Structure 1
Amino acid sequence: MTDLLETSRWTGRIFSGGWIPGENGEIPSVEPATGAVLGHVGAASAADVHRATARAAQAQRAWAALPYQDRAAVLRRAGRLFEDHREEIETWLVRESGAVRAFAGVQTIEGGAEECHAAAALAAAPYGEVLRSHQDRFSFSRRLPVGVVGVISPFNAPVVLALRAVAPALALGNAVVLKPDPRTAVCGGVVLARIFEEAGLPEGLLHVLPGGADAGAAVVEAPQTRVIAFTGSTRAGKAIALAAARRLKRVHLELGGNSALIVLDDADLDLAASAGAFGTFHHAGQICMASGRHLVHASVAERYAELLAEHADKLAVGDPRGPVAVGPIIDAGQRDGIHRIVTDSIGAGARLLAGGTYEDLFYRPTVLADVPLSAPAYAGEVFGPVAPVVAFADLDEAARLAAGTEYGLSLGILTRDVAKGMALAERIPSGLAHINDQTVNDEATAPFGGVAESGTGARHGGTAANLEAFTEQQWVTVRGRPPRYPF
């Protein structure tokens, strides 16, 4: 089997009607664990983006006119290619994004292959409904592709967070312009370009344009991009929403989170601490759904915090190519922000039970107890391996604390009483809710999205969400002959 990511094909290039140089030069791909430069990708300019969106609009019409099974066949081939090249793709994810092998595998198969297979099925989904009419005519609605979809994706899960928009948008007859985060431009950009190139996607339908803020702004501004799918920070998402609103464009925003994991007094504390450790420390906490706040019944809070600290102390941290549980933070700026949050929270009165130190970009899993509600580790999104533990007295206080945030992405509730957990979940605004599980969960077939400062609701996953996200609804009526009007 030939190498999917053989470097001579894409080094110093962007993918736009083939592999071509980008006007803004090159971007180095840097391994966060070692600082080694793994390669160079092309850097797209705003002009590159505008040319790409114009080409995409031209190519999209013929793609949309194809029988649905032809589009589905391309998506199925793409899914198989993720499976066939699993080891190669995972290696790039490990080295470029800092993911441990297990997280890289989830992205490649559950995020790559499964997203493509689910999108292939989406191409065959019913796309309209017959409507009642009081007039003598056949009335129905149908969904048509929007045209060109702009996708701006982040560094932390670069395959799945790009593909969950790219794959369904293509399956439904759209063209796509993708701007991946420049820090993961190979595993989050080149991988997708090469997969669909090998899968036989017609030229001009997918453009992969790594670049800076100017390229991202151009994706939003280009007149051909009618829908923008963005995953990233709340601050950046708001700026994109404002720019899109001025152009009357739809935006699908999956933004930050400060998700609560609630541990009730009847929970199995050993299982709860294990779930809590995974929810906060997996991928060094660089997951939007991470368990950012551990709300624990006062009767068991101290013991839970001790068990969580034991888990944290046992976790191996280091180069993700080795047998470790936690890899590096993506860059020094992100690491320094995490450490500042930890030290400021300790200064505010939080008690350090584990971690709080780092070496290079490797930050130790950290547990903070007795955290004041005003401390930054509790009040905002950390995006790092930090678990603040706060006690509550009763269910009313638990609900009030969990809902007392600007975010609303994910929620976990651990209890032996499932009915109690379900009732509690109904009181807490959240796009996702998991009873007897931690907060990090995602499937290609399930609707995904947050509310409030976490985004614009479920805009990814599942048939209904994807149809709503990447199509326009059109009303059509048909008469046997024109009526006679009194004019």
Structure 2
Amino acid sequence: MRATDDTGFLREAQWQDKVFNGTWVRPLGGVNPVREPATGEPLTCTGNADAADVATACMAAAQAQPAWAAMDPRSKALIFRAAAGHAEANFAELSLFVARETGGSLLKGNHEVREAIVLLHQAAGLLSQPHGLLLPSAAGRLSYARRLPHGVVGVISPFNFPLVLSMRSVAPALAAGNAVVLKPDPQTPVSGGFLIARLFEAAGLPKGLLHVLPGGAVAGEALCLDARVGMIAFTGSTGAGRKVAETAGRTLKKVALELGGKNPLIILEDADLELAASNAAWGAWLHQGQICMATGRILAHASIAEELTRLLADKARALRVGNAARGEAELGPLINERQRQRVVDIVDASVAAGARLVAGGPADGLFYRPTVLAGVRPGMPAFDQEIFGPVASITSFETDDEAIALANQNEYGLSAAVISRSVGRAMAIGERLNCGLLHINDQTVADDCVNPFGGRGNSGNGGNVGGPADWDEYTQWQWVTIKDSPPLYPF
């Protein structure tokens, strides 16, 4: 089945075997075939960028950026609002493509497009905010600080929520006056890149300011090394993030890393177990667990652990697995065979180490049923490692202090949640958790786009994206002083 209807907004003929530099051109790096995870059938074929393609894009972006930075804010804001309007007008078409390309449900596709629209409007709003500060100074001297763009921002985005995780950097980076070179994951090049290119192309973004180059490690390394790039915004695994930081550090770029997570959900003995099980299931299994904020550890008080396990197992058996983009199931496939095998290996090794498989498994192609593991303890792979699959790992505790220690016993620090009828007790626990995102009486997967989003430890390098954090990420400060005439110094 063809990926798109060439009478629609997404016209496959435009991008077939190509990349985007303001127009659609054939790259030197060849072609990138894309398969639909749920069916295994060819979905589309884009261009594949190599190092030379990246160098060409970075040069063009650097040349186009000064004029864009000098454009008046209202004119720029109109472009973002127009892009949002095109997304709204073609909502159903965009949502279905995102669902198909990512192996997600239509609910997930709808969510990504809705959030992309919000991000575009947020970017337009940035342009009407103050761009600097008036600083205290001596009489007769004006002292102020203003925000300046980095110049060219390189964005490297992942496969799991490609539209949102690309747009959350592309839109504010452009709004701050930068040009952008975007390298989406080659498994999801349209959702993570070409869809965004089409929106901005239709909105009238000047040529040369946005480049979309699907490609592998060679393209990513070239982007990190190019001296014309002032910042890299990377979202992906912790291992890949380390390589990005090391490579980009050679040219002293700013690097913003949004990485993995092993996120704890603490459920206290006074919790409503039906609600707690609903939260745990959603956090662990949404989009097959392929979310950096997924609930990776369910820490349940010993007095309720058995009943919670039973409730989760019932939910796991009731959920359908299949082609979720076509409405045939609630959960779709994992993105590829390597990721499927990783989930299988972690579950098998944890069972061999003493965990109990209560529901779920085994794999059927790329499909893996929602799984419940009970009796998971530190030292087991299901406790220690980010799984990125639909596995609910349950560990029991006796005291609040033990729950906190178990929650903090990992190298990550992205999201955490606590469920209790006592908000005060839950807050007291939450204040002792190492995390960048904390949710009381909710699960771990949440992002409103207006909030600073970032992790600690191996979940990131201390930065944040989103809302008030965007100005800090995508600009740098310049201090300016002005006097009517130069002073006389004693030398």
Check whether TM > 0.5: yes
2:156 aligned to 134, 152, 155, which one? Answer: 152
Matches within 5 A, 1:69-88: 69-88=74-93
Aligned Cα root-mean-square deviation (Å): 1.1
- Map Cα deviations across residues 305-349 of structure 1 (whole Å, 9 max, x no partner): 111111111111101112311110001111011001000100000
- Partner SS, residue 396 of structure 2: strand
Q: Which residue of 2 aligns with 1:18?
A: 23
- Structure 2: distance between partners of 1:469 and 1:208: 21
Q: CA deviation at 1:192?
A: 0.8
- Structure 2: distance between partners of 1:150 and 1:138: 35
Kept after mapping to 2: 8 A contact 1:262/1:412 = yes
Match of 2:203, as an amino acid? A
- Partner SS, residue 382 of structure 1: coil
- Structure 1: distance between partners of 2:185 and 2:221: 13
Query: Where do 4+ consecutive residues of structure 1 move more than 6 Å?
Result: none
Match of 1:191, as an amino acid? L
Alignment partner of 1:386 is 2:391 = yes
1:395 aligned to 395, 400, 403, which one? Answer: 400
Kept after mapping to 1: 8 A contact 2:155/2:169 = yes
Matches within 5 A, 1:268-283: 268-283=272-287
- Partner SS, residue 476 of structure 1: strand
Matches within 5 A, 1:114-125: 114-125=118-129
- Map Cα deviations across residues 248-302 of structure 1 (whole Å, 9 max, x no partner): 1110000010000100111100000001000000000000000000000111011
Q: CA deviation at 1:136?
A: 3.5
Q: Which residue of 1 aligns with 2:36?
A: 31
Q: CA deviation at 1:30?
A: 0.4
Kept after mapping to 2: 8 A contact 1:409/1:454 = yes
Closer/same/farther in 2, CA of residues 17 and 197 from structure 1, 3 Å limit? closer
2:289 aligned to 273, 285, 291, which one? Answer: 285
1:433 aligned to 429, 434, 438, which one? Answer: 438
Kept after mapping to 2: 8 A contact 1:220/1:244 = yes
Moved more, 8-17 or 379-388: 8-17
Kept after mapping to 2: 8 A contact 1:29/1:186 = no
Q: Which residue of 2 aligns with 1:442?
A: 447
1:103 aligned to 95, 100, 108, which one? Answer: 108
Q: CA deviation at 1:70?
A: 1.2
Kept after mapping to 1: 8 A contact 2:17/2:30 = yes
- Structure 2: distance between partners of 1:392 and 1:91: 42
Kept after mapping to 2: 8 A contact 1:115/1:444 = yes
- Structure 2: distance between partners of 1:179 and 1:257: 22
Alignment partner of 1:92 is 2:97 = yes
- Structure 2: distance between partners of 1:226 and 1:69: 25
Q: Which residue of 2 aligns with 1:376?
A: 381
Q: CA deviation at 1:405?
A: 0.6
Q: CA deviation at 1:135?
A: 5.9
- Partner SS, residue 458 of structure 2: helix
Q: Which residue of 1 aligns with 2:3?
A: none
Alignment partner of 1:141 is 2:141 = no
Q: Which residue of 2 aligns with 1:486?
A: 490
Q: CA deviation at 1:457?
A: 2.8
- Structure 1: distance between partners of 2:74 and 2:236: 33
- Give the TM-score, by structure 2 length: 0.97
- Structure 2: distance between partners of 1:428 and 1:380: 18
- Structure 2: distance between partners of 1:360 and 1:319: 12
- Structure 1: distance between partners of 2:140 and 2:306: 71
Q: Which residue of 2 aligns with 1:416?
A: 421
- Structure 2: distance between partners of 1:395 and 1:272: 17
Alignment partner of 1:182 is 2:192 = no
Alignment partner of 1:328 is 2:333 = yes
Moved more, 205-214 or 81-90: 81-90
Q: CA deviation at 1:351?
A: 0.5
Q: CA deviation at 1:3?
A: 1.4
Q: Which residue of 1 aligns with 2:66?
A: 61
Q: Which residue of 2 aligns with 1:407?
A: 412
Moved more, 126-135 or 181-190: 126-135
Q: CA deviation at 1:2?
A: 5.0
Kept after mapping to 2: 8 A contact 1:261/1:276 = yes
Structure 2 stretches of 5 or more lacking a match?
A: 1-5
**Percent of pairs identical after alignment?**
51
- Give the TM-score, by structure 1 length: 0.98
Alignment partner of 1:338 is 2:343 = yes
- Structure 1: distance between partners of 2:293 and 2:79: 31
- Partner SS, residue 473 of structure 1: strand
- Partner SS, residue 230 of structure 2: strand
Moved more, 269-278 or 135-144: 135-144
Moved more, 185-194 or 197-206: 185-194
- Map Cα deviations across residues 179-214 of structure 1 (whole Å, 9 max, x no partner): 000000111111011111001100000000001110
Kept after mapping to 2: 8 A contact 1:264/1:297 = yes
2:302 aligned to 298, 303, 319, which one? Answer: 298
- Structure 2: distance between partners of 1:457 and 1:82: 32
Kept after mapping to 2: 8 A contact 1:258/1:380 = yes
Q: CA deviation at 1:93?
A: 1.1
- Partner SS, residue 29 of structure 1: strand
Match of 1:330, as an amino acid? I
1:362 aligned to 361, 364, 367, which one? Answer: 367
Q: CA deviation at 1:458?
A: 4.1
Matches within 5 A, 1:459-474: 459-463=464-468, 465-474=469-478
Kept after mapping to 1: 8 A contact 2:22/2:206 = no
- Partner SS, residue 173 of structure 1: coil
- Partner SS, residue 184 of structure 1: coil
Match of 1:396, as an amino acid? D
Q: Which residue of 2 aligns with 1:475?
A: 479
- Structure 2: distance between partners of 1:160 and 1:358: 28
Closer/same/farther in 2, CA of residues 241 and 135 from structure 1, 3 Å limit? farther
Q: Which residue of 2 aligns with 1:250?
A: 254
Kept after mapping to 2: 8 A contact 1:431/1:458 = no
- Structure 1: distance between partners of 2:488 and 2:464: 44
- Structure 1: distance between partners of 2:421 and 2:241: 38
Kept after mapping to 1: 8 A contact 2:264/2:415 = yes
- Structure 2: distance between partners of 1:399 and 1:236: 29
Kept after mapping to 1: 8 A contact 2:26/2:47 = yes
Q: CA deviation at 1:359?
A: 1.1
Q: Which residue of 2 aligns with 1:316?
A: 320
- Partner SS, residue 252 of structure 2: coil
Matches within 5 A, 1:211-230: 211-230=215-234
- Structure 1: distance between partners of 2:61 and 2:463: 26
- Structure 1: distance between partners of 2:9 and 2:111: 19
- Structure 2: distance between partners of 1:36 and 1:338: 23
Q: Which residue of 1 aligns with 2:270?
A: 266
